């Protein structure tokens, strides 16, 4: 389902020298598989997720999702591909404050090129216990509720892969487990593969597969 081969990414130092960030020889995730990615802070985990999502261009290599090498896709096609096949849950939830819970979920459908299905968005929110909070804006929702809306938004297009970037980093231990349960349950129900970045050993311990991102010659590699 997801295959990374020889993916490398570097930034430029202020003096113009290249700063290697990623050097992934191979990483593969199967359909419906749930994988945790760990690594020390600043080692390039978020950059890797951005590269997989096509939000950051790579210097070389292949990122294949459902057989499509997104590195070779033109940007506009890649954007549409992302809307249709990928779901993203951010560390800070990143709900848009001007929109209601339902509208935030519908926003996830807006850029697919297909007619937004309000019924599905409502159904998803109802399923995660927010059926009574559809018209509330993020400011009126609790932290847990906001994260649930973010999960619903990520899953609304029935993507093949969910990328979750430290979704439990900003919540207390009680909420942490709720979020993990929510993500795992939703991905199982929707048959969505998940690549979850976390620092937490407790979270990582709940997953069958944990990949470690380690610095080798300054660039992160999958151990």
Partner 1 sequence: MSFWKIAWRNMQQRALASSLTGLSMALGVALMILVIVIHEVTVEQFESDAQGYHLIVGGSKGGDLQLVMTTVFHLGKPMYPIPYSYYQKFTEGEFAQYTEAAIPYCLGDSYHQGGYQFRVVATSPDLFEKISYGVDEEGNDRRYEFRLGRNFESNHFFEAVVGSVVAKKTGLKVGDSFQPTHGMSSRGDKHVGFEVVGILAPTGTSNDRAMFINLEGFYLLENHALLPEENIENETTHVDHEDIDPNDPNRGHLPLPEAQREVTSILVLCKQEYGTEAMVLDNAINKGKDRTAQAVAPAAVVGRLLDGIIGPVRLVLLVLTILIVVVAGISILVSIYNSMSERSQDIAVMRALGASRSAVMGIILVESILLSLLGGIAGVLLGHAVLGLASPYVEAQAGITLRFWQFNWQEMLLIPGLVGFASLVGFLPALTAYRTDVGRTLGGGR
Of 69-88, binders to partner 1 (CB under 8 A) are 75-76, 79-80, 82-84, 88
Minimum Å distance from CB 173 to partner 1?
Answer: 23
Instruction: Indicate the burial class of 212 (C-beta count within 10 angstroms; 0-12, 13-18, 19 or more).
Output: middle
Binding of partner 1 at residue 55 (CB under 8 A)?
yes
* Residues 101, 146: Cα–Cα separation, whole Å: 8
Q: What's the residue count for the chain?
A: 223
How many of the chain's residues bind partner 1 (CB under 8 A)?
A: 37
Binding of partner 1 at residue 12 (CB under 8 A)?
no
Nearest one of 89, 95, 177 to 133, comparing CA atoms: 95
Binding of partner 1 at residue 66 (CB under 8 A)?
no
Q: Nearer Cβ to partner 1, position 169 or 223?
A: 169
* Residues 21, 221: Cα–Cα separation, whole Å: 9
Of 122-161, binders to partner 1 (CB under 8 A) are 153
The stretch near partner 1 (CB under 8 A) out of 23-31, 92-100, 182-190, 211-219 is 92-100
Per the DSSP assignment, residues forming a β-bridge with 4 are 27, 63
Binding of partner 1 at residue 164 (CB under 8 A)?
no
The stretch near partner 1 (CB under 8 A) out of 39-47, 125-133, 170-178, 204-212 is 39-47
* Residues 154, 177: Cα–Cα separation, whole Å: 19
Question: How do 60-65 and 34-39 pair as beta strands?
Answer: unpaired
Q: Which of 90, 134, 190, 206 binds partner 1 (CB under 8 A)?
A: 90
Contact 34, 209 (CB under 8 A): yes
Binding of partner 1 at residue 36 (CB under 8 A)?
no
Write out the two tokens for 75: 């940007």
Contact 125, 141 (CB under 8 A): no
Minimum Å distance from CB 111 to partner 1?
Answer: 4
Binding of partner 1 at residue 43 (CB under 8 A)?
yes
Binding of partner 1 at residue 173 (CB under 8 A)?
no
Q: Nearer Cβ to partner 1, position 27 or 44?
A: 44
* Residues 134, 103: Cα–Cα separation, whole Å: 8
96: left (phi over 0), alpha (psi -120 to 50) or beta: beta
Q: Where do contacts with partner 1 occur on this chain (CB under 8 A)? A: 11, 21, 42-44, 46-47, 49-50, 53, 55-56, 75-76, 79-80, 82-84, 88, 90-91, 94, 96-99, 103, 106-112, 116, 153
């Amino acid at each position: 389902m997801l295959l990374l081969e020889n993916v490398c990414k570097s930034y430029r130092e202020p003096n113009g020298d290249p700063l290697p960030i990623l050097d992934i020889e191979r990483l593969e995730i199967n359909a419906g598989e749930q994988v945790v990615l760990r690594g020390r802070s600043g080692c390039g985990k978020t950059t890797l997720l951005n590269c997989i999502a096509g939000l950051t261009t790579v210097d070389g290599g292949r990122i294949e999702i459902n057989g499509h090498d997104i590195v070779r896709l033109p940007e506009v096609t890649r954007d549409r591909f992302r809307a249709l096949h990928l779901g993203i849950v951010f560390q800070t939830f990143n709900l848009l404050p001007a929109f209601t819970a339902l509208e935030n979920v519908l926003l996830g459908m807006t850029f697919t090129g297909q007619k937004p299905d309000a019924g599905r968005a409502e159904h998803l929110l109802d399923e995660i216990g927010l059926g009574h909070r559809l018209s509330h804006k993020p400011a009126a929702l609790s932290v847990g509720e906001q994260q649930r809306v973010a999960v619903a938004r990520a899953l609304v297009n029935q993507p093949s892969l969910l990328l979750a970037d430290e979704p439990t980093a900003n919540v207390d231990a009680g909420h942490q487990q709720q979020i993990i349960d929510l993500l795992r349950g939703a991905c199982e129900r929707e048959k969505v593969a998940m690549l979850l970045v976390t620092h937490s050993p407790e979270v990582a311990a709940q997953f069958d597969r944990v990949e470690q991102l380690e610095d080798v010659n300054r660039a992160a590699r999958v151990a």
